[in-house]
Structures are given as C-alpha cells and as structure tokens.
Amino acid sequence: MSPRDAILAAVRSNLPRPAVPLPAIPGFPENDEPLLPSFRRQLEAMGGRSFEVADGEAARAKVAELFPAAKVVCSAATEVPGARRVEDVGDPHELDDVDVGVVRSPLGVAEAGAVWLTLGELVVSALGVLSQHLVVLLDPASVVATMHDAYGRIDLAASPYGVFMAGPSATGDIEGVIIHGAQGARSLTVLLLAPALG
C-alpha cells in the first residue's frame, strides 16, 4: 500500500465518533470606533506608521522625505514610479539591493493593523521581504473591521502568495526585547491615498 493509502486507511479506521457538525461562523457585533483611526492605531502598535497624503505627488515627496539616503527605490505602484520597476525584475535575487520597496494594497484590516498583499500587487513576492524598508499605499476606504471581514473579501486560491503584513519584520527572541528588521523589512510605512481614477 502506498504511504498515501496507508495513512488514509489508518485515519478512516480511527475517526472519532460521534462527529460534530461544522459550525457556521456568525457575524460578531462591531464596536463603534471608526475604522480608519482604529487601523492606524493598531498599525502603530504593531510597529508600523501611517501618513495621509493628498495625491501621487505628495506620496512621492513623502517617500523622498522619509528615505533621503535611499539609492534603490523599487516600485510596483503607479503613483510612485521608483528608479526600478518591479515588472522589469526577472529574478527575485535582483531585489537584494533594494532600499525601499513600494506597493499598493487592496485591503487593510483595522483590528490587526494589517495590509493584504498578493502577487497581483507585488509582482515579485520577495519585494515585500527583501526591501530594507517597505512603503504601502492604501485607500482609506478599503479598511475592514476584522479578520472575518477580510477573509470574506479575498480569494485565496487566486494568487500563489498572499500575506497580511502587520508592521515590519520583528523579533523578541533575545530576552523579549522587540527589535524591528529581524530578517524582512526594517520599517513599514502606510500612505493613505485613494487610487487615481481612470
């Protein structure tokens, strides 16, 4: 018998009884706090930061202001062109020298302070973790309240990779001291900006 069939047979002969029905996941009452301030506060608690920007020009200026020493800005977002376009990156190893990665997220989650990113936005998944710093553009209108709401809006199987990113890479592995930039991005900055029309 193949390992597969042996495992399935062993499982079948040992299934616990009586079986419990699969529960429906109910809606939970939401608190009254407006979503955007709640998202921003939670993002900060996770070690990230956010700024409101008026338009694409303001977004570009903000990136220049926050990262004056950045040599390589690699962008996947239309509002901030960057010196390098991620669409031109053939192999993830080419992202090793990226100082600032820029990408637009289609969804934010208030309770987690998290932004959702898939290959659709990142184009090359390593952009989210190899960049020294990450800037994420987010439409303030695309923030939902809870993880339940978030999973209700996304189609997981549509992208090989999808990540909820809540703040930068972090570790508390040495005596519980929180350090940002363990292995992935050292900082996560969310720029609140609706996508340009057309």
Partner 1 sequence: MTRPVDAEGLAARFIADEAHESTHDRLVWGMRHNRDMAVAGVPEWEELRELASRIKEHTLAHLDRYLEEFEANATKLGTHVHWARDSEEHNAVVYEILHAHGVKSLTKSKSMLQEECGMTPYLQKRGIEVTESDLGERIQQLDGEPPSHIVVPAIHKLRSDVAALFARDLGTDPTNADPHYLAEAMRQDARPRFMAADAGMTGANFAVAETGGFVVCTNEGNADIGASVPPLHIASIGIEKLIPRARDLGVFIRMLSRSALGSAITQFTSHFHGPRRDGELHVVLVDNTRSDRLGSPDFWHGLKCIRCGACMNTCPVYRRGSGLSYGATYSGPIGVILDPGFDIRKYRELPFHSSLCGSCTEVCPVKIDISDQIYKWRRVVAAKGLLTLTKRVGMRALGTTFAHPALFHAAESVGESAMVHLPRFLLYNSLNPWGKHRELPAAPKQTFRQWYIENRRNP
CA distance 111 to 89: 34
Give min distance, CB of 136 to partner 1, in A.
13
Q: Indicate the residue among 53 and 122 with the shorter CB distance to partner 1.
A: 122
Give min distance, CB of 141 to partner 1, in A.
21
Q: Indicate the residue among 37 and 92 with the shorter CB distance to partner 1.
A: 92
Give min distance, CB of 198 to partner 1, in A.
29
Contact assessment for residue 170 and residue 180, using Cβ atoms and an 8 Å cutoff: yes
CA distance 74 to 127: 8
CB atoms under 10 Å from CB of 67, counted, come to 17
- What is the distance, to the nearest Å, from the Cα of residue 177 to the centroid of all Cα atoms in its chain? 23
95-112 core/surface letters (b: 16 or more CB in 10 A; e: else): beebebbbbbbbbbbbbb
Q: Indicate the residue among 58 and 163 with the shorter CB distance to partner 1.
A: 163
Strand bridging mode 187-192 / 114-118: unpaired
Give min distance, CB of 125 to partner 1, in A.
4
Q: Indicate the residue among 61 and 84 with the shorter CB distance to partner 1.
A: 84
